[in-house]
């Protein structure tokens, strides 16, 4: 029979795994629980503003398909201009509707903290940024505002990487 003495100290080596809520970016300015709340609200605000910008971009594209069509017509002169205008309108519709759909996925990912949804959302946002840079032929203030909003994804990507770091580092003891 194995005897255990009651004056043995409990093993405290597992205490470092028990607190996984500590944030590596708090720097003493905000508490970890405030950081996660701040992250959620920043993503919600960013997503709503991005959806509004996508709707505005769709409105501009539908109101002025002629300028984009003329620019494309200079490059592809064999195609009729009305076909190019139809292509620009369809492209704007598809681009904006998929952006709104994936921004909704991003909003869900922020609310329920699902990392698979987050990965899909981040991948889409990077591809959407590249796509916007390809299809916008005129550099205007609307284009620059859209690119600035999309490149603000870098901050959100850093937040998610820090979240993943905080989630998995205590497990693997890295």
DSSP secondary structure letters along 5-22: -TTPPP--TTHHHH----
Local structure of residue 26 (DSSP, 8 states): -
Q: If you search the block for the tokens 């490059």, which residue do you land on?
A: 75
Per-residue pLDDT of the chain (174 residues; tens, 9 = 90+): 455 554 544 444 444 444 444 444 444 555 656 666 666 676 667 667 666 766 666 666 666 556 666 666 666 666 666 666 666 666 666 666 666 676 666 666 666 665 666 666 667 666 666 665 555 545 555 555 555 555 555 556 666 666 666 666 666 665
What's 33's DSSP letter?
A: H
Query: What pLDDT shows up at residue 21?
Result: 46
The two tokens of residue 81 are 């201009």
Q: What is the pTM of this model?
A: 0.37
pLDDT at 91: 66
Token pair, residue 67, equals 């300028």
Residue 146 tokens read as: 């859209």
Rg (CA), the chain: 24
> How far is it, in rounded angstroms, from Cα 124 to Cα 38?
23
- Identify the pLDDT of residue 101: 72
- The three-state secondary structure class of 3 is coil
Cα distance between residue 63 and residue 73, in whole Å: 18
Q: How far apart are CA 10 and CA 32, in angstroms?
A: 28
d(CA 77, CA 15): 70
């Amino acid at each position: 029979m194995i005897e255990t003495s009651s004056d043995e100290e409990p093993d405290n080596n597992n205490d470092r795994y028990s607190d996984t809520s500590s944030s590596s970016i708090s720097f003493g300015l905000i508490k970890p629980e405030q950081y996660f709340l701040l992250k959620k609200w920043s993503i919600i605000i960013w997503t709503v503003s991005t959806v509004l910008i996508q709707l505005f971009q769709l409105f501009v594209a539908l109101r002025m398909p002629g300028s984009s069509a003329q620019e494309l017509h200079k490059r592809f002169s064999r195609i009729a201009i009305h076909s190019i205008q139809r292509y620009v309108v369809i492209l704007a519709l598809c681009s904006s509707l998929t952006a709104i759909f994936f921004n909704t996925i991003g909003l869900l990912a922020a609310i329920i903290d699902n990392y698979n949804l987050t990965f899909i959302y981040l991948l889409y946002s990077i591809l959407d940024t590249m796509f916007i840079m390809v299809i916008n032929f005129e550099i205007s203030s609307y284009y620059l505002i859209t690119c600035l909003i999309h490149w603000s994804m870098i901050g959100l990507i850093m937040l998610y990487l820090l979240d993943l770091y905080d989630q998995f580092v205590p497990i693997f003891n890295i």
